[in-house]
C-alpha cells in the first residue's frame, strides 16, 4: 500500500500538546524592578529547589502579602550558542520591588530592562517545564521571526501556580528581538 501526502494539508505536531502549535503573545515590557535571592548555578548542578526553599521562609517571615513570584534566569552573553549543561548562570527567586514589598536585608535587587518578550502560558507540572523550554529554544525561536535577546528570562507564577500539580499554570517570558 502506498500513501501519498496531500500537499494542501499542513500538519504541525507539537511535542507537548499533540497537534497544535503553541503561539506566544509578543509584548513590549517596561523596565521591571525585582527584589529577592540570587544563586549562581548550572543545569547540571541545578539548585532551584534550594533557592526557593531559602526564599519562601524569608518572604513568609516578613509577613508579605500573596503576590506573583518571579523565577528569573540571567544567562551570560553567548550562553545559547552551544549547549553545555555545566555553564553557569544566575537564578533568582523574586517579587516585584514596590512600596508594599521592601527589600529584606538578605535580598538583592535585579533590574530587568524594557524590551520585547514572547510570553508562553505553560500548564503542567513544574518538574516538566524543561520540555516547554526545550520547545521554545529548540523549535519556536528558530522557526519564528525572532531571535533570543540577552536579557533575563522569567517564569511568572501567579494565583494559578500550584508547584508540581498537572493543573498548575505559569507564564514563561522569553526575551526576543527582531
What does each of the 178 residues of the chain score in pLDDT, given as a tens digit? 333 333 322 223 334 444 345 789 999 999 999 999 999 999 999 999 999 999 999 988 888 777 899 999 999 999 998 889 999 999 999 998 876 666 688 899 999 999 999 999 999 888 888 899 999 999 999 999 999 999 999 999 988 888 888 888 999 999 999 9
Nearest 5°: phi and psi at 106?
-85, -5
**Contact between 112 and 94 (Cβ < 8 Å):** no
The rounded distance, in Å, linking the Cα atoms of 163 and 157 is 9
Q: Which residue has cell 525572532?
A: 146
How far apart are alpha carbons 151 and 54 in whole angstroms? 25
Spatial separation of the C-alpha atoms in residues 73 and 93, rounded to whole Å: 9
Beta bridge partners of 74: 90
Task: Find all residues with CB under 8 Å of 105, minimum gap 6, and list them.
Answer: none
pTM: 0.83
CATH superfamily of 25-177: Regulatory factor, effector binding domain (3.20.80.10)
Distance spanning both ends of the chain, measured CA to CA: 46
Break the chain into its structural domains and give their ranges: 25-177
Amino acid at each position: 500500500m502506498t500513501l501519498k501526502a496531500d500537499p494542501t494539508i499542513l500538519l504541525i505536531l507539537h511535542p507537548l500538546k499533540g497537534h497544535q502549535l503553541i503561539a506566544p503573545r509578543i509584548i513590549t515590557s517596561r523596565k521591571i524592578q525585582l527584589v529577592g535571592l540570587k544563586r549562581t548555578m548550572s543545569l547540571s548542578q541545578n539548585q532551584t529547589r534550594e533557592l526557593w526553599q531559602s526564599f519562601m521562609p524569608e518572604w513568609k517571615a516578613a509577613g508579605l502579602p500573596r503576590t506573583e513570584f518571579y523565577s528569573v534566569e540571567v544567562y551570560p552573553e553567548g550562553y545559547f550558542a552551544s549547549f553545555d549543561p555545566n555553564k553557569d548562570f544566575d537564578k533568582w527567586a523574586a517579587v516585584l520591588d514596590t512600596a508594599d514589598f521592601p527589600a529584606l536585608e538578605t535580598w538583592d535587587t535585579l533590574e530587568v530592562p524594557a524590551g520585547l518578550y514572547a510570553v508562553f502560558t505553560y500548564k503542567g507540572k513544574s518538574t516538566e517545564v524543561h520540555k516547554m523550554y526545550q520547545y521554545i529554544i529548540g523549535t519556536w525561536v528558530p522557526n519564528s521571526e525572532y531571535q533570543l535577546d540577552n536579557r533575563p528570562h522569567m517564569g511568572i507564577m501567579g494565583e494559578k501556580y500550584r508547584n508540581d500539580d498537572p493543573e498548575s499554570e505559569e507564564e514563561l517570558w522569553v526575551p526576543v528581538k527582531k
